[in-house]
Amino acid sequence: MSTRVNSRPEIRTTSGVVRGIWENAVAVFRGIPYAEPPFGARRFMAPAPVRAWDGIREALEFGPPVPQARHTGSVMSSVSGTGDGSDDCLTLNVWSPDLGAARLPVMVWIQGGTYLENYSSNPHYDGATLAAAGVVVVSMNYRVGAEGFARITGAPDNRGILDQIAALRWVQENIAAIGGDPSNVTVFGQSAGGACIAALLVMPMAAGLFRRAISQSMPGTYFSERLAAAISTTIAARLGLRATVDELSRLSPRALTDATDTVIQKLPEFVESWGPMSLTPTPFSPVVDGVLLPDAPWRALAGGAASDIDLLIGHTRDEFRLYTSRPGAKPTDARMTAAFDHLAPATATEDGYRRAYPDATPEQRYEFLNSDWLFRMPSLHLADAAHAGGGPVWLYELAWSFNREQGASHCLDFLLVFGTLGSDEVRAHPAANPNAAVEIPRVANHMRTDWVNFATTGKPGWVPYDPRTRATRVYDAEPITRRYPEERSRRIWRTHRFDTLDLLRTD
């Protein structure tokens, strides 16, 4: 490792010099801009290269969040610029254990947040522990909500993913100066971030920007242009406008976020026209426009796209329990009926789930259905597609949990990989499992080590997946490799084909 000359390391990037800080044995650079502020004439446009600066830019603080609900920066209320710097939100952060010519593996984190929210300053995304394992870690802010994912006439689709591509280009140009190897980049992300990674795998613009990919708990929702346009039209109509750049640019981000929130509250009312996406928590997903995103990931991977990319993919066992375990979240009979009517595959309605899970309560079958439709089966089917297309793929499931209420729920996996859920926090949980506080360091270390091994060598430590043996790494108190554990759900969904979601009807 390089010698730490002082506590304030300076690195020259393509745009200028940044000054970070050593924190223990890791150099940290926060809030480095990778694109110009996406406002004014650049609003709803593809990210623009950041302008160079003179002198030394301090990189001690995370950049401001992108516009989203509960964001209080003045950019949220302005259409003509701000004075507090909150418009300079397209920034990234780097943790590196070695600033020499180490050529360490690089892991670029793409966080989730239902395509509605994210901020890289979230302490659960702190990259220090992961970087100390021998990799350079990068995280970023990217546009979310209508700013990043609404279909708007006159604007490119998937602007949030275009931001991710811009950040990956920054990595290619600059990471060698921070100890990383630009030829050995792994993108990894969870939930919406995992689905963005599945899109990046098949986007021509992203070709050559990374070598490996880890998709954690990807939701299987990708929208057609018609469906995305109908949703954006409805959001704009709440403000008496059309979904065009000219008209929406007159609005502050806060007004657009508020209009989006209004539509979110009414999503189930659109189920007959917008289909199953109306039963999710968000009106946004990547748009399959045939150009930036040529096809849905399953079809594209099966056709051989990204066959040169190593892929690690998986999910947690109890994905949807994060939502059903919340206070007041018990589903109504009407909600459960709607879910089985619109989410279950045609070959297995509620009766199919009742036969597959005879000892489960109706609420548990509702949870299984949502876990399967939204997260578990899209991940499994993407592994099948990658294998069919000739690409190397590994599959995992997180079965370990630390509390009885949530089980191995959505989001638990990244807390373990980053090491940001500690034994004391687990021990203090009122529903903590008896041995969880003792087990969590070991489980987290197993996952983190496998992720780092994959980023380093392309092999996480168990046999690759294929549809015959369905070898799966199952993380419990001790990890094991076994046949895919969710066999009952796999059988229910075996003939289903995940694809682009389309508008069911126009009103």
Q: What percent of the chain has pLDDT over 90?
A: 90
Per-residue pLDDT tens digits for 73-98: 899 998 877 788 899 999 999 999 99
Read off the pLDDT band of 6 (50, 70, 90).
low
Q: Starting from the edge strand earliest in sequence, which strands make up the sheet with 480-483, in order?
A: 21-23, 26-33, 91-96, 136-140, 104-110, 180-190, 212-216, 310-316, 393-398, 471-475, 480-483
Find all residues with CB under 8 Å of 207, minimum gap 6, and list them: none
Average pLDDT score, the chain: 95
Read off the pLDDT band of 186 (50, 70, 90).
very high
pLDDT value of position 507: 66
Read out DSSP for 304-337? TTTTTSEEEEEEETBTTHHHHTSTT-PPPHHHHH
Do residues 185 and 209 make contact, with C-beta atoms less than 8 angstroms apart? yes
Question: Could you give the 3-state DSSP secondary structure of residue 295?
Answer: coil
Which range, of 1-10, 463-472, 490-499, averages the lowest pLDDT?
1-10
Do residues 66 and 141 make contact, with C-beta atoms less than 8 angstroms apart? yes
Per-residue pLDDT tens digits for 402-414: 998 999 999 999 9
Domains and CATH numbers, the chain: 1-507 (3.40.50.1820)
pLDDT at 306 over 90: yes
pLDDT value of position 368: 96
Per-residue pLDDT tens digits for 236-281: 999 999 999 999 999 999 999 999 999 999 999 999 999 999 999 9
250 DSSP 8-state letter = T
Q: Please give the span between the terminal C-alpha atoms of the chain, in angstroms, as a whole number.
A: 63
Find all residues with CB under 8 Å of 278, minimum gap 6, and list them: 267, 268, 269, 270, 271, 342
Using alpha carbons only, what angle is made at residue 268 by residues 263 and 269, rounded to the nearest 5 degrees?
Answer: 80
Residues with a catalytic annotation lie at: 191, 319, 410
Counting Cα atoms < 13 Å in the Cβ hemisphere of 65 gives 20
Read off the pLDDT band of 7 (50, 70, 90).
confident
pLDDT at 2 over 50: no
Mean pLDDT on 300-325? 95
Read off the pLDDT band of 1 (50, 70, 90).
very low
Read off the pLDDT band of 225 (50, 70, 90).
very high
CA distance 378 to 219: 7
Question: Could you give the 3-state DSSP secondary structure of residue 486?
Answer: coil
At residue 179, what is the residue type?
Answer: G
Closest CA to 274 of 218, 233, 315, 329: 233
CA distance 20 to 36: 21
Q: Which two tokens stand for residue 125?
A: 């995304």
Read off the pLDDT band of 3 (50, 70, 90).
very low
Mean pLDDT on 463-479? 97
CA distance 1 to 23: 15
Q: Give the relative orientation of helices 159-174 and 192-202 as an angle to the nearest 10 degrees.
A: 70
pLDDT value of position 301: 98
pLDDT value of position 79: 85
Closest CA to 112 of 154, 149, 166: 149
CA distance 451 to 448: 5
Does pTM surpass 0.85? yes
pLDDT value of position 284: 98
Per-residue pLDDT tens digits for 422-446: 999 999 999 989 999 999 999 999 9
pLDDT value of position 144: 98
At residue 243, what is the residue type?
Answer: A
CA distance 284 to 68: 13
Per-residue pLDDT tens digits for 30-70: 999 999 999 999 999 999 999 999 999 999 999 999 999 98
Mean pLDDT on 199-213? 98
Please name the residue that has the structure tokens 């066992």: 317
Mean pLDDT on 282-300? 97
Per-residue pLDDT tens digits for 330-351: 889 999 999 999 999 987 777 8
Q: What percent of the chain has pLDDT over 70?
A: 99
pLDDT at 328 over 80: no
pLDDT value of position 351: 86
Mean pLDDT on 439-458? 97
